[in-house]
Amino acid sequence: MRAIVIAVVLFCWGAVAHAHKPSDSYLILKVSDSRVEGQWDIALRDLEYAIGLDANGDGDITWGELSARQGAVASYALARLKVAVRGAACTLQATDHLVDQHSDGAYAVLRFAATCPEATGPLTVGYTLFFDLDPTHRGLARIESAGLTQTAVLSPERREQTFDLAASSVWQQMWAYVREGVWHIWIGFDHVLFLLSLLLPAVWLRVGRQWQPVLRFATAFWDVLRVVTAFTVAHSITLSLAALQVVSLPSRLVESVIAASVVLAALNNVYPVVSTGRWIMAFSFGLIHGFGFASVLADLGLPRGSLVTALFGFNVGVELGQLAIVAVFLPVAYALRATWFYRRVIFLGGSAAVVVLAGAWLLERALNIRLLS
């Protein structure tokens, strides 16, 4: 064996200066009200090495071969995972078997439920999967509870880790939802475009059939404040009603009306119908936008114990996000209000573009088709 020659040696080392994807599994635990649900993505290559999946030995793992070994996969994997709440071990039960593709190949997706004797308290994860076969294996864990996400890397050196879910205090929880709210406004183009369409004329006054630039900043400021406040009050009302499950509307209807509201708000700039009463428009359509926010909040998973915190935090986040947009918009619009560029390009051109874009959304959402990629 010592006959390895220098060439092999040096040549091997040459290959070494590079990396490749090592073995990882992805473990997600969702904790809510004494229920723990898990999803565990485990590479098929690793399962093949550990328990054998390729029944006919042809080098290909088919869905049929994996399906036949589902029981073995679940018992092998779940025996190497311990979940405990407040020190009391939970019972793990496989609930579903799927497959997924990650950057380095196919993974078995094992869904499971944990039944825990303790309802609340710190969550402990003990992980030993594949450590005996491949000490470089890592478990990449993501623990989600009450809108908070914690991540951890489980390794042979750190097999057991405890996550203080209670430490997600009211403030931390609220902060998490505030961030979600800001984020949603930031990526929620429909809400932003609706608001901006209503705000574009705020730096002008309608005199007869003509637009005139306002003379004082305060005039524009109060107009913006009226519109933004009306929008905020309206969507806060419906967001709360929907989150508390007092009212519920089908999401396709809500999303379609939101798109329609954007079309109308922008159209009103091109063919003015409502000029001074734009805050009424903001209020009426704001009611519908609130339902849109509520569905996002519902997707985040609402903790029953801290619903009010979540609701309040999310709403504050939405308002902060809105405020940031207005704070950028207003000074710029005020500075440019008397220019040809603002009147022609931003106001008319921008509004027309919004009409087209939101019109496409409206068609997509109402007819359930895809126009934009």
Partner 1 sequence: MRRSIIITIVVLGSVLSGSVAYAAPIRPTDPSVVLERLPLKRGDTRAAELAKDRALLAAQPGDPELALRVAEQYFDLASAEGDPRYIGYAQAALAPWAADRGAPTDILFMRGKLLQWRHDFRPALELFGQVLQREPDHFDALTWRSAVLTVLADYEGARSDCRALKKTKGELFWGSCLAYVDGLTGKAAAAEQRLNGLLARHADASPVNRLWLLTRLADLAARLGRPADADRYFQRALALGVTSQYLLANYGDFLIDEGRPAEAVALLRDWSRSDVLLLRLTFAEQMLNAPEFKAHAGALRDRFAAAALRGDTLHQQEESRFLLRVERNAGRALELAVANWIIQREAYDARILLEAAVAAGRPDQAQPVLDWLAASHHEDPHLTALADKLRAKSGP
In Å, how far are 87, 115, 173, 187 from 305, measured between CA atoms? 22, 19, 11, 28
Asked whether position 99 contacts partner 1 by CB under 8 A, the answer is yes
CA 300/CA 297 separation, integer angstroms: 5
In the set 36, 51, 85, 102, which binds partner 1 (CB under 8 A)?
Answer: 102
Count of residues near partner 1 by CB under 8 A: 64
In the set 69, 137, 278, 337, which binds partner 1 (CB under 8 A)?
Answer: 137
Cβ at position 31, least distance to partner 1 in Å: 17
- Per CB under 8 A, which region of 17-25, 231-239, 276-284, 356-364 contacts partner 1? 17-25
Q: Which is nearer to partner 1, 136 or 339 (CB)?
A: 136
Over its C-alpha atoms, the chain yields an Rg (Å, rounded) of 28
CA 128/CA 80 separation, integer angstroms: 5
Q: Which is nearer to partner 1, 150 or 162 (CB)?
A: 150
Residues between 163 and 182 that touch partner 1 (CB under 8 A): none
CA 17/CA 281 separation, integer angstroms: 63
Cβ at position 99, least distance to partner 1 in Å: 6
- Per CB under 8 A, which region of 12-20, 223-231, 298-306, 349-357 contacts partner 1? 12-20
In the set 33, 132, 160, 164, which binds partner 1 (CB under 8 A)?
Answer: 132
Asked whether position 71 contacts partner 1 by CB under 8 A, the answer is no
CA 180/CA 227 separation, integer angstroms: 23
- Both tokens assigned to 243: 């989150």
In the set 72, 109, 241, 264, which binds partner 1 (CB under 8 A)?
Answer: 109
Which residues, including other chains, have CB under 8 Å from residue 246's CB and lie 6 or more apart? none
Q: Which is nearer to partner 1, 48 or 364 (CB)?
A: 48
* Strands ordered across the beta sheet of 88-89: 88-89, 81-85, 123-127, 160-163
CB 267 within 8 A of CB 261: no
Residues between 40 and 69 that touch partner 1 (CB under 8 A): 41, 44-46, 48-49, 54, 57-64, 66-67
Cβ at position 180, least distance to partner 1 in Å: 12
In the set 75, 93, 95, 151, which binds partner 1 (CB under 8 A)?
Answer: 151
In the set 89, 113, 140, 274, which binds partner 1 (CB under 8 A)?
Answer: 140
- Both tokens assigned to 179: 């961030």
Handedness of CA 215, 221, 225, 227 (dihedral sign): positive
Length of the chain: 373
Which residues, including other chains, have CB under 8 Å from residue 238's CB and lie 6 or more apart? 247, 286, 287, 288, 289, 290, 291, 294
User: E strand or H helix at 332, and its extent?
Assistant: helix 307-336
Which residues, including other chains, have CB under 8 Å from residue 298's CB and lie 6 or more apart? 242, 243
Asked whether position 8 contacts partner 1 by CB under 8 A, the answer is yes
CA 176/CA 358 separation, integer angstroms: 30
Fill in the per-residue mask, 224 to 263: x = in contact with partner 1 (CB under 8 A), - = not in contact: ----------------------------------------
In the set 69, 138, 226, 289, which binds partner 1 (CB under 8 A)?
Answer: 138
Asked whether position 157 contacts partner 1 by CB under 8 A, the answer is no
Cβ at position 9, least distance to partner 1 in Å: 4
In the set 79, 88, 119, 153, which binds partner 1 (CB under 8 A)?
Answer: 153
- Both tokens assigned to 223: 């107009």
Give the footprint of partner 1 on this chain (CB under 8 A).
1-2, 4-24, 26, 28, 39, 41, 44-46, 48-49, 54, 57-64, 66-67, 98-106, 109, 132-138, 140, 142, 151, 153
